Chains A and B, each alone.
Chain A
Amino acid sequence: DGGITQSPKYLFRKEGQNVTLSCEQNLNHDAMYWYRQDPGQGLRLIYYSQIVNDFQKGDIAEGYSVSREKKESFPLTVTSAQKNPTAFYLCASSAVSYEQYFGPGTRLTVT
C-alpha cells in the first residue's frame, strides 16, 4: 500500500528536550514537506525538500531542523529553541504535479 506514515501518533516531552518526528513515504515522490497546525488554524509551512540532501526553510522554520538523507524519509526535529512547540505536525509529499498528499499527523505536547 502506497502512502505516508508518521510516527508516533501522540508524543509527550518535557520542556527543554529536543524531539524528532518521523515521516516516511513510499510514493516515490521527490518533494516532502512539514507543516504545523494549531487549534482552529490553517497549516503553516515549516520546512520543505525538493530533492535528497537539499531543503529550504518555510514560513516558520525557527526552532526546527530537518534532514533529507534518503528520498523516502524527512525527519523533523523540534528543538528546545522552539518557544511554543505544542501543536499538530503534518508531513506531506508530492510529485511534479504539485498535489501534496498528507500523512496522518503527530500531535506533540510539551509540558
Chain B
Amino acid sequence: GQQLNQSPQSMFIQEGEDVSMNCTSSSIFNTWLWYKQDPGEGPVLLIALYKAGELTSNGRLTAQFGITRKDSFLNISASIPSDVGIYFCALIQGAQKLVFGQGTRLTINP
C-alpha cells in the first residue's frame, strides 16, 4: 500500500514559537489534506491542497504542496495553547479513499 511518512511524531514547544511538520509519500498524488484532532474528538479539516507548488494559508497556518507532488508541509506561526492536538496529513488514493499519516502530536508549554 501507499507509504506516507509524517514527521516529527511529537513536538514540545513554548507558547509563541513557530511549528513546522511535514509528510512525504512514496508516489505522486494530486491532493494533500491537513487535519487537526483534539483529544477524544474527530479530526477537523484545516487546509486542502490541490496543485503542485500551491501555498495556502488559514489564519496562522500555512501549508504547501511540494513541487515534486510527493511531499507537503504545515507551518503554525506564533503558537497558542489551543493549537495543542494531533495533526494529520492525508492523501486521496482513488475512489475518494483517504490515507493518513501517523500524526504529529503537538504539546505547548505556557
Contact = CB atoms under 8 A, between A and B. Distances in A.
Contacts of A43: 43, 88, 98, 100
Interface residues of A, number: 29
Given A41-B102, A42-B102, A59-B1, A102 B97 contact: no
Interface in A33-49: 33, 40-45, 48
A107 interface: yes
Contacts of B45: 99-101
Interface string B70-103: 0000000000000000001000100111101111
A92 B35 CA distance: 13
Classify the interface of chain A: helix, strand, loop or mixed. Answer: strand
Interface in B31-51: 31, 33, 35, 40-45, 48
Interface string B13-31: 0000000000000000001
Contacts of B40: 88, 105, 107
For the side of the interface on B, what is the size category? 20 to 34
A75 interface: no
A45 B42 contact: no
A83 B75 CA distance: 39
B88 A42 contact: yes
B44 A45 contact: no
B1 to A, nearest CB: 7
Contacts of A42: 88, 100-103
Interface of A: 4, 6, 31, 33, 40-45, 48, 50, 56, 58-59, 88, 90, 92, 94, 97-105, 107
